[in-house]
Amino acid sequence: MKHLEGKVALVTGATRGIGRGIAIGLGEAGATVYVTGRSFNNSSSNEVSGSLQETQSAIEEVGGVGIPVQVDHSDDQQVRSLFDRIQDEQNGQLDLLVNNAYSGVQALKDAYGQPFWDCEPSLWDASNNVGLRSHYVASIFAARMMTKRQQGLICTISSWGSMSYIFNTAYGAGKAACDRLAADMAVELKPHNVASVSIWPGIVGTELFSHFADEMNQTNVTEQKSSFFSDRYNWETPLLTGRAIAALACESNLMRRTGRVQIVAELAKQYNLVDENGVGVARRRHRPASLRSLRFVVPAALPILRKYSWLIPDIKVPWSLLLLNALSSPKI
């Protein structure tokens, strides 16, 4: 159903990965979706590359309107020009901003397994410049438009890495700051009826992380070990995040969620959403378990149970227990 028909959305960093999936999910719901990225055409032979034109076509194939805009989110002037364009073309209307642009995946891959002191200080900027900082900058311009119309939603893509160690120190600090950014923006935006939330996808099978997992699999075979990252346990597709955000944006009482973390798998359960082709889950369910559900936690600790995970109750582990266990949690 076209719940977002007549709505205007912006998804930053949408040439591939989660951003592309989000843009397609919003297109399914009938939105006009501005998408940004650095690659307009796909002139690369790289198997994990993508382009704005490809994302635009994918949005239009599912019934939305895609508007590609080439933007480098490390350049504040380019970001300002992007919002000026939306202001002019949409008569000041912007209903949804999804802060997704992130340029740190390759840096995470290169630094994987190394302690922070063995990495160059530039790893911080690679992880958090086009990421945390660019989310803040885009939110400034979006809030100026939304507060004038007294409505809107800003979603900041974060991660379970804000609560528990994943990848490296710079990554975790940046994601924790993303959650704080969303929460504090919510305080200032609430009087203007604009919501701000932090979105936690699960383990998402993007093009880059699928390639990363393939490389890890080769290493794990040699070393005779496995992980729920490398064996794709409970993976979800980028499209599920898009469908969850599309449903969230349609809530009549959206402000009750403002300032809080929203978990994609839990939104999918609440809204009765399904994932694309059931990737990473039993095909009859087509929905991954939340990473704080017993259905995920128990098989993660006992791999022999993974093929029977659907038999385990889908009960959430309380946040307090998760925080106590954060330092000893499985490493992705």
Residues marked active site are found at 171
Euclidean distance between CA atoms 239 and 206, whole angstroms? 10
Angle between helices 17-28 and 52-61 (to 10 degrees): 30
Query: Two tokens at 200?
Result: 């936690």
Nearest to 66 by CA among 35, 37, 87, 94: 35
Euclidean distance between CA atoms 110 and 113, whole angstroms? 9
**321 phi and psi angles, rounded to 5 deg:** -70, -35
CA angle (127, 214, 178) in 5-degree steps = 25
Determine which helix (DSSP H) or strand (DSSP E) holds 9, and give its type and residue range.
strand 8-11
CA angle (215, 105, 300) in 5-degree steps = 60
Nearest to 113 by CA among 164, 162, 177, 169: 169
